[in-house]
Amino acid sequence: MMGMAAACAQAGRFDRSIHHFDQALESLGRPRSKSTLGMLWSLSVNSMRSILVPTRWQQASSEDARHRAALECEILIRMVAVLIEKSVVALFHAGFRGGVAGYRAGDDVSVEFGHVISGLMWFLSGLRPIGTLCLNRVSRIQATSSSEE
């Protein structure tokens, strides 16, 4: 489904691409809200989680749940590039939700993606200091990872 979504996006068939991304999310049991009110609620919750709740508290408890969260993060990050053509609310919803999915995945790469996409969403919303905070977290993760090697 991800391959079809990417192919449709390349061809400029954004509605079809979004449909395939939605199918991929549904196959993970994590469908995207279709209503504007649902997206706004999720956007509010996930944007606050990105800055107020420590990442380690958001990590999923089982290996399977972490793997599914990593896939969800990847799907939503790719979906952001398509949604920029369609809907600002859906764009921010997918971006912040993708960030939180990265935190749930728990591995360094997914958590870094989570912070980067959340930071980007904060920058796009005009809140540069919060975006900078998210990107600084990536630097700290990378510094910790390189010092452990």
Is residue 1 scored above 70 in pLDDT? no
CA dihedral 131, 133, 135, 140 (to 10 degrees): -170
pLDDT of residue 149: 59
CA–CA dist 12, 82 (Å, integer): 9
Is residue 48 scored above 70 in pLDDT? yes
pLDDT of residue 43: 87
pLDDT of residue 4: 86
Both tokens of 111, joined, read 């958590």
Planar angle of CA 60, 61, 67, nearest 5 degrees: 55
Q: Which of 8, 26, 27, 10 lies closest to 18, judged by CA? A: 8
With cut-offs at 50, 70 and 90, classify the pLDDT of residue 2. Answer: low
The 10s digit of each residue's pLDDT in 54-98 is: 888 888 889 999 999 999 998 998 888 888 878 888 999 999 999
CA–CA dist 141, 54 (Å, integer): 13
Q: Are 135 and 116 in contact (CB under 8 A)?
A: yes
Backbone angles phi, psi at 29, to 5 degrees: 80, 20
Mean pLDDT of 100-122: 91
The 10s digit of each residue's pLDDT in 10-44 is: 888 888 999 999 999 999 999 988 888 988 898 88
| Residue 149 identity | E
pTM for this one?
0.82
pLDDT of residue 61: 86
What are the respective helix, strand and coil percentages of the chain, to the nearest 5?
Answer: 80, 0, 20
